[in-house]
C-alpha cells in the first residue's frame, strides 16, 4: 500500500514478501553499526521481525516504518517513517538505508517527506528524532528537515545515550480545531484511496488493539477490508472523540 511519493522515491507499507530485502538491510554493516543488530539471519526470522516490528504498527497506529523504493527502477533502498516508541513522549522519525545507497540524499528526501506527512496528513504537533551520539550524518538529516537539536540525553527508549531532536508546532493547541481535523482525516481515510492507510490513526488505541489481538493476517488486503467495513461511518458525527496519549482519537463502539 503506497503512503507517499517524492521526486525520486516511493514510500509504501512493507509486506511479508519483502523478507529478503529486510534480511539484507538488517545485516548491512551500516545498519548494525548505527542502529542495532536484530540478530535476524534467515528469511523466516525476517518475516517474524516484519510482523512484529512493522506490520502490526500499521494496524495499531496508522503509520510506521515504510519501505523506500526508487521510482526510476523500483530498487529497494531501505526504510523510513514515523513510530511511537515506548519511552519517548512523542512520535519520532527514523530511517535506515543500505550502505550502497548512502551519499545520494535519499535519507534526507524520505525523512523530509515523512516530516511533512506527520504535520500535514497526521496532524501531529510534536515530532522527535533520535540518533547515536556519534552518528553525526544522521543528525544532520534531522536538522536539515527542520528538527532542533536538544542535546545528548538518556531516554527510556534506548539503553545508551542518544542525541535527541524535536520539532514543536508554534501554534497553540486548540481542542476544537484538532477534533474537527480528526473528523476530516477520518472521512478521508474512509473515502480516499490515498488516505486509506491513515485509518487506524483516527481511532483510540483500545479500538486498534481489538483489530490486532489474535490476528495473523496483516496484509494490505485485510486492512482494506477492515476499512470497507466502516465505510458507512465516514460522516457519522455521533462518534465520540476522546483525548489519548497519541492525541484526539475516535472511540468506536
How far apart, in whole angstroms, are the C-alpha atoms of residue 193 and residue 173? Answer: 29
How far apart, in whole angstroms, are the C-alpha atoms of residue 188 and residue 206? Answer: 21
Indicate whether 173 belongs to any domain: no
Number of folded domains that form the chain: 2
Q: In this structure, are residues 152 and 161 in contact, taking their beta carbons and an 8 Å threshold?
A: yes
Q: Are residues 106 and 229 in the same domain?
A: no
pLDDT band at 98 (very low <50, low <70, confident <90, very high): very high
pLDDT of 157 > 90? The answer is no
Assessment of whether the complete model's pTM goes beyond 0.85: yes
- Return the percent helix, strand and coil in the chain, to nearest 5: 45, 25, 30
With b for 16 or more beta-carbon neighbours within 10 A and e for fewer, the 201-210 pattern comes to bbbbeeebee
Which residue among 168, 192, 210 closes a domain? 168
pLDDT of residue 46: 98
pLDDT of residue 73: 98
pLDDT of 144 > 90? The answer is yes
Q: CATH number of the domain at 43, please.
A: 3.40.630.30
**77: its cell numbers:** 533502498
Q: Are residues 22 and 139 in the same domain?
A: yes
pLDDT of 159 > 90? The answer is no
Ramachandran class of 86: left when φ > 0, alpha when ψ lies in -120 to 50, beta otherwise: beta
Q: Are residues 200 and 243 in the same domain?
A: yes
Indicate whether 136 belongs to any domain: yes
Indicate whether 125 belongs to any domain: yes
Q: In this structure, are residues 66 and 81 in contact, taking their beta carbons and an 8 Å threshold?
A: yes
Report pLDDT digits (tens) over 26-80. 999 999 999 999 999 999 999 999 999 999 999 999 999 999 999 999 999 999 9
Q: What domain range includes position 188? A: 181-251
Q: Are residues 115 and 26 in the same domain?
A: yes
Q: Are residues 215 and 187 in the same domain?
A: yes
Residues in the chain: 253
pLDDT of 200 > 90? The answer is yes
pLDDT of residue 235: 96
Indicate whether 174 belongs to any domain: no
Average pLDDT, the chain: 96
Which residue among 112, 142, 168 closes a domain? 168
Handedness of CA 133, 137, 141, 144 (dihedral sign): positive
How far apart, in whole angstroms, are the C-alpha atoms of residue 186 and residue 236? Answer: 10
- CA proximity to 225, closest of 186, 187, 196, 194: 196
Amino acid at each position: 500500500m503506497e503512503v507517499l511519493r517524492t521526486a525520486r522515491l516511493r514510500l509504501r507499507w512493507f509486506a511479508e514478501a519483502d523478507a529478503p530485502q529486510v534480511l539484507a538491510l538488517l545485516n548491512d554493516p551500516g545498519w548494525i553499526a548505527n542502529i542495532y543488530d536484530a540478530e535476524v539471519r534467515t528469511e523466516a526470522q525476517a518475516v517474524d521481525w516484519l510482523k512484529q516490528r512493522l506490520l502490526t504498527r500499521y494496524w495499531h497506529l496508522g503509520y510506521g516504518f515504510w519501505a523506500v523504493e526508487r521510482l526510476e527502477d523500483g530498487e529497494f533502498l531501505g526504510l523510513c517513517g514515523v513510530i511511537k516508541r515506548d519511552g519517548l513522549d512523542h512520535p519520532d522519525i527514523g530511517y535506515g538505508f543500505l550502505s550502497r545507497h548512502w551519499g545520494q540524499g535519499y535519507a534526507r528526501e524520505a525523512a523530509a517527506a515523512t516530516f511533512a506527512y506527520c504535520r500535514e496528513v497526521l496532524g501531529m504537533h510534536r515530532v522527535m528524532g533520535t540518533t547515536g551520539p556519534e552518528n553525526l550524518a544522521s543528525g544532520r538529516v534531522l536538522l536539515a528537515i527542520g528538527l532542533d537539536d536538544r542535546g545528548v540525553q538518556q531516554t527510556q527508549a534506548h539503553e545508551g545515550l542518544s542525541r535527541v531532536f524535536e520539532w514543536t508546532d508554534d501554534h497553540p493547541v486548540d481542542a476544537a480545531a484538532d477534533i474537527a481535523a480528526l473528523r476530516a482525516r477520518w472521512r478521508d481515510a474512509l473515502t480516499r484511496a490515498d488516505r486509506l492507510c491513515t485509518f487506524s490513526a483516527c481511532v483510540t488505541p483500545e479500538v486498534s488493539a481489538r483489530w490486532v489481538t489474535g490476528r495473523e493476517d496483516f496484509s494490505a488486503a485485510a486492512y482494506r477490508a477492515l476499512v470497507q467495513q466502516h465505510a458507512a461511518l465516514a460522516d457519522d458525527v455521533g462518534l465520540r472523540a476522546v483525548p489519548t496519549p497519541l492525541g484526539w482519537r475516535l472511540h468506536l463502539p
